[in-house]
Amino acid sequence: MQLDPTSGWCHGIRHCPSPNCNVRPQGEISLLVIHNISLPPGQFGTGKVQAFFQNRLVAEEHPYFAGIATLQVSAHFLIERDGAITQFVSCNERAWHAGQSSFGGRENCNDFSLGIELEGTDEQPFTDAQYAALVALTRVLQRTYPALTLDRICGHSDIAPTRKTDPGPAFDWPRLRAALMDKKE
């Protein structure tokens, strides 16, 4: 996996381009936001997250889809249960994952952040393959964007605490931080 800083796309992973993105107002990338998602909630490997981020979700297919099918959202990356990574938006562009949000007194975190979705729920443990992929991806991102220090990796619930609970209590923050600090890994 290699990140081309000019295009903002990672080579060696799947690409599934989303139209739900636009220009970063300051061109800044200084925050990494971790999320979880599964569609329908609690079901994995359905391909519906990809459809959702490409505005292809069919409202009639599931009662839950009816409520979200018209939303225009995206994240830069999705890590599925088997560790497969898909990129939807160039890192150079602003993906629409954080919504109304604030980090360190600054609002609109989409402007200056990258968003990674882990396929999952708040309550179910994420897989070893997902942690391994998340660590590898984060390291690649940190090499290109050195502002993404450990203290600037957070959860959606940290930047939108009244609206969002993801990645949830099942996400093992100490495990991620320890792996990122371990130079051998």
Residues in touch with Zn ion (CB under 5 A) = 35, 156, 166
| Smallest separation, CB 135 to Zn ion (Å) | 20
Q: Distances from the Cα of 83 to the Cαs of 34, 52, 130, in angstroms?
A: 15, 19, 5
Please report which residue ranges of 2-127 form alpha helices under DSSP H: 48-53, 63-68
Structure tokens that stand for 16 in this block: 């599934």
Query: Could you tell me the smallest distance in angstroms from the CB atom of residue 43 to Zn ion?
Result: 17
**Residue linked to tokens 């396929």:** 119
Residue type, 125: P
Polymer length of the chain: 185
Tokens of 93: 């562009």
Contact between 141 and 149 under an 8 Å Cβ cutoff? The reply is no
Q: Min. distance of Cβ 27 from Zn ion in angstroms?
A: 23
Counting Cα atoms < 13 Å in the Cβ hemisphere of 102 gives: 7
CB of 157 to Zn ion, least distance (A): 8
Which of 28, 60, 61, 117 is labelled catalytic?
117
SS3 146: coil
Q: Which is nearer to Zn ion, 24 or 35 (CB)?
A: 35
Q: Decide whether 2 or 100 has the Cβ nearer to Zn ion.
A: 100
Q: Are strands 9-11 and 2-4 parallel, antiparallel or unpaired?
A: antiparallel
* 117 noted as active-site residue: yes
Question: Could you list the active site residues?
Answer: 117
